[in-house]
Structure 1
Amino acid sequence: MPGNTSPSLEDIDEIVHEPSREFVESTNVYDFMQEYGIEDYDELIERTTTDLEGEPDSGVDWFWDELVDYLGIEFYEEYDDVRDDEEGPQFTDWYPGGELNVAHNVVDRHADIDEERRNTVATIWEGEDGEVREITYHELHRQANQVANALEERGVETGDTVGLYMPMVPEVVSILYGCFKAGAIAVPIFSGFGVDAAATRIEDAEPNVLFTGDGFYRRGDPVFLKSAADEAIADAGHVEHTIVFDRLGSSTKTSEHEIPWDDDRDEWWHDVVETRDDEYETKSLPSDQESMLLYSSGTTGQPKGIVHTHAGVQVQCPKEVYFGMDLKPADRFFWVSDIGWMMGPWTLIGTHTFGGTVFMYEGAPDYPDPDRFWAMIDRHDLTQFGISPTAIRALRKHDKRQPTSDEPSGSDGARDDEWLSGHDLSSLRILGSTGEPWDPESWRWFYENVGGGDAPIINISGGTEICGCFLMPMPTQPLKPCTLGGPGLGMDIDIVDREGNSIKDDHERGYLVARDSCPSMTKSLWSGDERYLEEYWSTFEDMWNHGDWAQQDEDGFWFLHGRADDTLNVAGRKVGPAEVEGALIDHDAVNQAAAIGAPDETTGTAVVAYVVLEAGREETDDLREELYAQVGDELGKPFRPREVLFVDEFPKTQSGKIIRRAIQATYVGEDLGDMSSIENPRALEELEDAR
């Protein structure tokens, strides 16, 4: 079954995971339910998301108000009310009148409490080359203060943006928290992005300061990040100070790695951060003060700048890590991510709010061998492990043999995995996944072989737009393969038809929507309210349209069935078709381009590109290779097309709009549907014959 093809409910209509009573009663969410007299999961969701009989506030208001004290989140100044929604759910003001700072909650208070807490390990980092570093809360606190002081020396003030185009090294945590301390808006940029993708985000965010590194290791070889940062800055402008972390040893005179250097702009981390004062008074900021600007690709060419606040991420991320991932004081939390993706900040803020330990890994999942993750889980006694379905599909391929069609996964002899054997994974309590739909076979393999048939898979879905989850199982729930459980706590979520009528209880497939706001919902888009309202609030009245197909089965389990819009979800990373098409058109041989998503066994969705060449250019394999490289260089290797197909024309409407659904349907062999609007029917034959 293709990785991103959602199974029918009949294929997964079996409860596979049934938590023991002992396990249920050990969970954080069970304690919460006992505290408030909540009997079961259904009552829990009702209590936290719907109107409360006889109460002036809704369950949403009650929950997000109660949560602050329950999780021990500290405000410098108490808020006047849990929210002000006079302008509707689109522009809800959460915790008005309050003041806080994420940095105080995730690092300052832990470093100040007592010697034991100060010396607790905040992050364990393992480099691809095997180097291991442990950073305590005391060390993290000192370094975050140094970052804040370095930023202020370079003129950064509250509300200014600061770019993080960084390798996944421990210092990235200090940079993020240092930005929070100084009131700067952190702008994480995925380290795997090519020049154009990075430049687009720098141009939009306009940071004066950019943190980057000389490079990092990937499959044993250095990847030079600094040169890409320089090109992106040259294209985008704005950056006047580049602070470079030395991961590869490039700053030493004996280094074999030479990187470009601008004496007027570039400075080494060890010169400008490590020499700064390690005392800093963290700023007290309004609840709605911007904390991060995270980018998400849409169906237009310009990525969306998602605006998050201090209060929003400070309540959402810890809520999910504490209840959904059941974080305990002695846990070691590992979610495979980059700081440039939402799950990076989500993991850090969620875990560090409770003084927990985050594990970070720099390199490839299968280097030097396919057991790298299993070896690290064993070596570091990791307790939570989150990963994308794509990565599991790739790792599953390394089985000695796959089960036959009549031999179900988990049958005797079918799962003798040569790379898993020899590694003790018994420390794992909770598994996690996000980013894309599962296929049942890979879900079962993950559950049975990595989790040992005991650890629940907390399969979550939300997005950069809320720095959290609309859907999230609780560890107390039974699970069917591929399920997302149900709505997250405090999240008023529904499934509706095209007219906006709820069809959740009819068990039909429909649009996943939010009927109410939540504290971490983006306050708008960086580019302004117009696009924000158009992207999320224009389809249905006063409902957030998330763009996913969803369905609830008769037993109450929720499932997703892929995107209802055109966004390409490649291995859990989203890119707009227009971005791919723009990269192709930048090649002087390309006149027009159309990018679609196709099912792919490994990445879930693969990019397939159709191109129309300029007159006189030949369709050659060499040109095809150039186009593969063009997209990889501009957007990053994950978004390189799986195929580039040449055609003479695209099917278009009379107004000249390319009919992408016809291209998509032709490629995957689906019914074309109504083609009455097509201006040039012969183009459909071209698609069939494309090579």
Structure 2
Amino acid sequence: MANDAGISLIATSTKIEPPEEYRAKSYLQSYEAYLAKYRRSIDDPAGFWNEVADELAWQSRLSTVIEGHMPDFKFFPGSTINVCENCVDRHAKHPLTRNKVALFFEGENGDRKSVTYQQFYDEVQKFANVLKSFGLQKGDVVSVYMQNLIETYVVLMACLRLGVVYNTVFAGFSPGALRERIVSSNAKMVICANASLRRGKVLNLKATVDEALEGVESVKQVIVYNRLPGVETPMTPGRDLDYDALMAAAAADCPPAVLDANDAGLLIFTSGTSGRPKGIVHAGGGFLLGTYAYTKYQLDLRPEDVYWNTADIGWLTSHIFVLVGGLALGVTTLLYEGALDYPQPGRLYEVVQRYRVNKLFSAPTAYRMMMKHGEEVASRYDLSSLELLVSVGEPFNPEAWHWIRRVVGGGKAVINNTWGQTETGGTPLASLPGATPMKPGSCGVPFLGHALDVTDLDGKPVPDGTPGYLVIRNVFPSLARDVFGDHDRYLSAYFSQVPGAYFTGDSAVRDADGQYWVLGRVDDVINVSGHRISTMEMESSLIQHEAVVEAAVVGQPDEIKGAVPIAFVTLEKGFTPSAELEAALKAQVVRDIGTFARPEQVYFVEAMPKTRSGKIIRRMLREIIKEGTVQGDITGLEDIEVVEQLVENIGHRVES
């Protein structure tokens, strides 16, 4: 069934056109319109990015648009722009948007609040003055250890207003993970919530901060927002300060700093899917320029939308599509704290119904969670407001894609499955939802101004339908500018593999229609007896079985075959591990792909090791089956106990 490329999933894919009702409201309304705009953007990138820049507010703007080439480049060198001014001030000062809700907040425990653009503007200026009162200035780094709160957005926008470089750390990372990021970035201040909620449990964030800061001398102040007043929160005199008390004493007048478009704006660490995490540096103005374009054209965001991106603020997706991209477009956005299926499985649907959310952005993990809870749960809620469902973070298997569109999207919603990385600061592959046809499992087409290709290691394009290395051949504003404190690592990690291109580290296929299918990391394509097999294809086959909720496949070295596939699966309720079920799953892969793809072994597991953004960390699964333990970085884990359990249950078999 599969050819040498192992791409039967792609060969059998079909096009689904966006509904005319949606197309009529899209910024681009036909495939021909996309192609014409795309070709112009590639032929004249300076002209394209100049058009985007025309829609933003500049402090000063020079004529040069692009200077330099990979890996050293600038966009609008010498021009000045302030991210906060574009995301907050211009909406607060406009009579039609000043009293519009900028952010709704809902907590897992039912707490609700909202803030208008005018109120947001006042709060951001106050906190900017708080930062200034402690001597913080352009280029200084602060670590932010908070969950999805309106106050978190106030903090981050205040940093962007002053040119203070922020580093968000997921509120739930261990003391060691937090400490590593604080020390690596030489942060001068930590801003945290005292606690957060997750599945009904109280996570004491301040206690984690205290442990992380033991012996750390660079941090002079810790500002604590009292999210849960009933939680005991020890405060260290002379270092720890109360957020509300500081805000009460601060003036609501702080002019935005004049910042070069290429000044560092934010620092975010990779999730640790491949070794020691890297501190990725993004330019503030470049990040604004790029994310504004991604958000406008890939989400069709308009002033009337109610938009919910479920990503945690510790994940760059929130910064791309909510904090900067979303607010720059002046939409009303929903922030949610906690688990999406707690305290009951329909929690996500309940929130969609309450706020009449029409554009929902989440991860395939969350969409598969909805599928796991079943159609009956979804049927209890009015989801008719949903027009666009967007996905990023993991391959979106066609079975879940179709279920989500039918059950959650009412058979009419547009689904936009995208691809991007922390380093790209956005999603270079996506649908233009009113213009390009959907293909279940595809990551869409190259975004405007982005020249992508699939190549061999010499940088030569491979034929359509053939797997190769996904590369980007031109610069774009939101591309990472450095690895913090380690420029050599920046060069070697991204620019040393394929001449003249940014190396994504992902394997991909471009089909005959010009759509791209990202198969996973390069080492997630397994060579079995000369056959290149995508782990995505095997995982998709396994998930089709009624017993399987989630699947991950990795390669194990084999003296004869080179490598053999090893599958990890989690089961639906009501199914139990057995030799018969393992045989049935192996048989399904053989039927769907071929005998050469039969998993050597199937491990039934309670949960997968995942990053906070929901990505399965297959590197850890490989380490467990090869070494019996996990050797590399574990700071990006959502739940370290999952790995400990896997090592205990599987690792000892390897060692023996």
Structure 1 length normalisation: TM-score? 0.77
Mapped to 2, the partners of 1:205 and 1:600 lie a distance apart of 37
Deviation at 1:643, TM superposition (A): 4.6
Per the alignment, residue 365 of structure 2 pairs with: 390
Deviation track 1:236-278 (CA, whole Å, cap 9, x = no partner) reads 44211000000110xxxxx3x2223211211111111232111
Per the alignment, residue 554 of structure 2 pairs with: none
Deviation at 1:79, TM superposition (A): 2.4
> How is 1:427-438 mapped onto 2 (pairs within 5 angstroms)?
427-438=385-396
Deviation track 1:161-186 (CA, whole Å, cap 9, x = no partner) reads 11111121110111011001111011
Per the alignment, residue 211 of structure 2 pairs with: 231
SS of 2:476's equivalent in the other structure is coil
Per the alignment, residue 42 of structure 1 pairs with: 35
* 8 Å CA contact 2:67, 2:77 repeated in 1: yes
Mapped to 2, the partners of 1:274 and 1:598 lie a distance apart of 56
Which amino acid in the other structure matches residue 111 of structure 1? A
CA 1:111/1:172 → structure 2, altered by over 3 Å: closer, same or farther? Answer: same
Q: 2:414 aligns with which of 437, 440, 456?
A: 456
Mapped to 2, the partners of 1:424 and 1:28 lie a distance apart of 27
**2:333 corresponds to 1:358:** yes
Per the alignment, residue 446 of structure 2 pairs with: 487
Which amino acid in the other structure matches residue 345 of structure 1? H
Mapped to 1, the partners of 2:157 and 2:385 lie a distance apart of 29
Per the alignment, residue 640 of structure 1 pairs with: 642
* 8 Å CA contact 1:378, 1:424 repeated in 2: yes
Q: 1:439 aligns with which of 397, 400, 406?
A: 397
Which amino acid in the other structure matches residue 409 of structure 2? G
> How is 1:381-530 mapped onto 2 (pairs within 5 angstroms)?
381-399=356-374, 417-475=375-433, 476-503=435-462, 505-530=463-488
Deviation track 1:431-458 (CA, whole Å, cap 9, x = no partner) reads 1110111221111111111111211111
SS of 2:373's equivalent in the other structure is coil
Which amino acid in the other structure matches residue 43 of structure 1? A
Per the alignment, residue 577 of structure 1 pairs with: none
Which amino acid in the other structure matches residue 639 of structure 2? K
SS of 1:448's equivalent in the other structure is helix
Mapped to 2, the partners of 1:149 and 1:325 lie a distance apart of 34
Which amino acid in the other structure matches residue 385 of structure 1? L
Per the alignment, residue 409 of structure 1 pairs with: none
Per the alignment, residue 274 of structure 1 pairs with: 248
Mapped to 2, the partners of 1:11 and 1:94 lie a distance apart of 37
* 8 Å CA contact 2:509, 2:516 repeated in 1: yes
> How is 1:72-87 mapped onto 2 (pairs within 5 angstroms)?
72-85=55-68
**2:296 corresponds to 1:327:** no
CA 1:532/1:448 → structure 2, altered by over 3 Å: closer, same or farther? Answer: same
Deviation at 1:143, TM superposition (A): 0.8
Per the alignment, residue 110 of structure 1 pairs with: 91
Per the alignment, residue 290 of structure 2 pairs with: 316
Per the alignment, residue 558 of structure 2 pairs with: none
SS of 2:445's equivalent in the other structure is coil
Which amino acid in the other structure matches residue 351 of structure 1? G
Deviation at 1:366, TM superposition (A): 0.9
SS of 1:483's equivalent in the other structure is coil
Mapped to 2, the partners of 1:378 and 1:633 lie a distance apart of 36
SS of 2:249's equivalent in the other structure is coil
Mapped to 2, the partners of 1:597 and 1:169 lie a distance apart of 40
Which amino acid in the other structure matches residue 444 of structure 1? H
Q: 1:64 aligns with which of 31, 49, 60?
A: 49
**2:532 corresponds to 1:552:** no
Deviation track 1:475-524 (CA, whole Å, cap 9, x = no partner) reads 12111111111111111111101221012x43211111010110111111
Per the alignment, residue 537 of structure 1 pairs with: 495
SS of 1:113's equivalent in the other structure is coil
Per the alignment, residue 292 of structure 1 pairs with: 266
* 8 Å CA contact 2:225, 2:242 repeated in 1: yes
Mapped to 1, the partners of 2:567 and 2:251 lie a distance apart of 53
CA 1:344/1:299 → structure 2, altered by over 3 Å: closer, same or farther? Answer: closer
Mapped to 1, the partners of 2:6 and 2:249 lie a distance apart of 56
Mapped to 2, the partners of 1:293 and 1:106 lie a distance apart of 19
* 8 Å CA contact 1:385, 1:428 repeated in 2: yes
Mapped to 2, the partners of 1:598 and 1:542 lie a distance apart of 37
* 8 Å CA contact 1:12, 1:440 repeated in 2: no
Q: 2:128 aligns with which of 148, 151, 172?
A: 148
* 8 Å CA contact 1:168, 1:361 repeated in 2: yes
CA 1:259/1:564 → structure 2, altered by over 3 Å: closer, same or farther? Answer: same
Over the aligned positions, Cα root-mean-square deviation in angstroms equals 2.9
Q: 1:605 aligns with which of 616, 623, 627?
A: 616
* 8 Å CA contact 1:245, 1:268 repeated in 2: yes
Which amino acid in the other structure matches residue 62 of structure 2? Y
Mapped to 1, the partners of 2:441 and 2:84 lie a distance apart of 35
SS of 1:390's equivalent in the other structure is helix
Deviation at 1:612, TM superposition (A): 11
Deviation at 1:156, TM superposition (A): 0.1
Per the alignment, residue 573 of structure 2 pairs with: none
* 8 Å CA contact 2:22, 2:387 repeated in 1: no
Per the alignment, residue 165 of structure 2 pairs with: 185
Which amino acid in the other structure matches residue 419 of structure 1? V
Which amino acid in the other structure matches residue 543 of structure 1? A
Mapped to 1, the partners of 2:396 and 2:334 lie a distance apart of 25
Deviation track 1:59-81 (CA, whole Å, cap 9, x = no partner) reads 32221112111xx2011001231
CA 1:93/1:152 → structure 2, altered by over 3 Å: closer, same or farther? Answer: same
Which amino acid in the other structure matches residue 66 of structure 1? E
Per the alignment, residue 137 of structure 1 pairs with: 117
**2:350 corresponds to 1:375:** yes
Mapped to 2, the partners of 1:566 and 1:531 lie a distance apart of 22
* 8 Å CA contact 2:87, 2:328 repeated in 1: yes
Which amino acid in the other structure matches residue 76 of structure 1? Q
* 8 Å CA contact 1:195, 1:635 repeated in 2: no
Mapped to 2, the partners of 1:300 and 1:16 lie a distance apart of 34
Deviation at 1:597, TM superposition (A): 9.9
* 8 Å CA contact 2:271, 2:277 repeated in 1: yes
**2:78 corresponds to 1:97:** yes
* 8 Å CA contact 1:165, 1:211 repeated in 2: yes
Mapped to 2, the partners of 1:565 and 1:489 lie a distance apart of 29
Q: 2:103 aligns with which of 117, 123, 147?
A: 123
Mapped to 2, the partners of 1:334 and 1:535 lie a distance apart of 33
Which amino acid in the other structure matches residue 293 of structure 2? K
Mapped to 2, the partners of 1:47 and 1:223 lie a distance apart of 50
SS of 2:411's equivalent in the other structure is coil
Which amino acid in the other structure matches residue 15 of structure 1? T
Per the alignment, residue 658 of structure 1 pairs with: none
Which amino acid in the other structure matches residue 616 of structure 2? T
* 8 Å CA contact 1:9, 1:553 repeated in 2: no
Percent of residue pairs identical: 31
Mapped to 1, the partners of 2:491 and 2:641 lie a distance apart of 28
Deviation at 1:41, TM superposition (A): 3.0
Which amino acid in the other structure matches residue 181 of structure 1? R
Deviation track 1:585-634 (CA, whole Å, cap 9, x = no partner) reads xxxxxxxxxxx996555756354354999xxxxx9xxxx9xx99x99899
* 8 Å CA contact 1:159, 1:184 repeated in 2: yes
Mapped to 1, the partners of 2:241 and 2:11 lie a distance apart of 55
SS of 1:65's equivalent in the other structure is helix
CA 1:631/1:517 → structure 2, altered by over 3 Å: closer, same or farther? Answer: closer
CA 1:598/1:362 → structure 2, altered by over 3 Å: closer, same or farther? Answer: farther
Mapped to 1, the partners of 2:646 and 2:466 lie a distance apart of 36
Mapped to 1, the partners of 2:180 and 2:283 lie a distance apart of 22
CA 1:450/1:543 → structure 2, altered by over 3 Å: closer, same or farther? Answer: same
Deviation at 1:688, TM superposition (A): 6.5
Deviation track 1:395-421 (CA, whole Å, cap 9, x = no partner) reads 21112xxxxxxxxxxxxxxxxx12101
